[in-house]
Structure 1
């Protein structure tokens, strides 16, 4: 049986929050280091660029592992990394080339595993809710952040697992027209994040 917490236990409990600044604070506030998130959107709207920018920013707070289960080490992913000058976080960022789920889980169980794990994308994991929850509980127990990228179906994540993850995680980030719209359990923030200024201006001028 798990421990029951008193009111004072909860009120006095310390959480390690990350002091996000500038536009990152405006959008995401100051999340706990063990936060969970899902980013989804239609192809060509900027969701991969959003995740890479997010990964780069998280490198200010620890090491980041990005498991590219969909693209792997590809030319298009290389170009995305070049666009966002990922060489600046050479020591804090690693790219996993389509690493299978169970191997990824074993990697994160290691003593000096990365502080944040990004899984791209949900549709290429090949796992069920049970395996997802196993990873999420491991990351939470170790005080590490977990992020997922997902395809979209309309305004929602595509597929049963992606939809389940959306309801389970802390941050829910919908991407459209090179803007990211945050929702969920935010600690401050709430403003849209512009992924690409020129692309966003062109897209939203047509929509409006």
Structure 2
């Protein structure tokens, strides 16, 4: 337990990510160890937003993206191509599958400042495991992707973790209509203005994946 007086609290400074533009408008200026729950139905833009956000977070340091649900797949590759992730090659590492214990070890060995877990439901991440993550790595930002049902996180673990997160974002039709952030902003975020089902599933030229998965 630690005590702090009013004056000391008011004078305390916090390390934040200097978000700009649409990111600042929607999510404010988050602390460097912020926690975010990003949830929505299938096909509404969760992966697109995650890749877009991973690219943006690479401006502030290395990013680890644990792709439990889609793995190293064509659909994830398409999102990588659409968002020109080659511009941050070497700053974003995608990892496929594995256990919670392996995730802990990878995070321990990495210098990543931001960790994505996609998805909570596929990985079956529990509340207790989430608590272990944020306690073991208190200086890292965690962005958790989850399934949704009727406009809310689907699983009880996701619902409980939502209360522990600083930013909560329901993805709907490639938008976040009402972001909820403790850091301000909270304006609608447009993930992909002209997105539709046909566009999302369009075919792209094959990409040599190793060029994007370099350390």
Q: Distance in 1 between matches of 2:94 and 2:19?
A: 23
- 1:20: which partner in 2? 19
CA deviation digits over 1:52-104, x for unaligned, max 9?
11111001111100000111101111111111111111121000111321111
In the alignment, structure 1 residue 174 sits paired with structure 2 residue 170 = yes
SS at match of 1:151: strand
Quick one: distance in 2 between partners of 1:138 and 1:15? 19
Displacement of 1:43 in angstroms is 1.0
Work out whether 1:45 is the aligned partner of 2:38. no
Equivalent residue for 1:103?
A: 102
TM-score, structure 2 normalization: 0.86
Q: Choose the corresponding residue for 1:183, options 174, 180, 198.
A: 180
CA distance in 2, matches of 1:159, 1:22: 33
Q: Residue 147 of structure 1 corresponds to which residue in structure 2?
A: 143
Q: TM-score, normalised by structure 1?
A: 0.89
Contact in 1 for aligned 2:27/2:181 (Cα 8 Å): no
Give unpaired runs (5+ residues) of structure 1: 201-208
Distance in 1 (alpha carbons) for counterparts of 2:98 and 2:116 = 12
| Range with bigger deviation, 49-58 or 122-131 | 122-131
| Shift in Å, 1:9 | 2.5
**Structure 2: where are the runs of 5+ without partners?**
197-215
The separation in 2 between residues aligned to 1:107 and 1:6, in whole angstroms, is 38
Deviations 1:118-155 (A, max 9, x none): 00001022343211101022232xx1100100111110
Q: Any conservation in 2 of the 1:23–1:193 contact (CA below 8 Å)? A: yes
Partner-residue secondary structure (3-state), 1:199: coil
Q: 2:118 aligns with which of 114, 117, 120?
A: 120
Query: Are the counterparts in 1 of residues 28 and 186 from structure 2 also a CA contact under 8 Å?
Result: yes
How many residue pairs align between the two structures?
195
Say which SS state the counterpart of residue 161 (structure 2) adopts.
helix
Residue 135 (structure 2) aligns with: 137
- TM-align CA RMSD: 1.4
What SS does the corresponding residue of 2:195 show, helix, strand or coil? Answer: helix
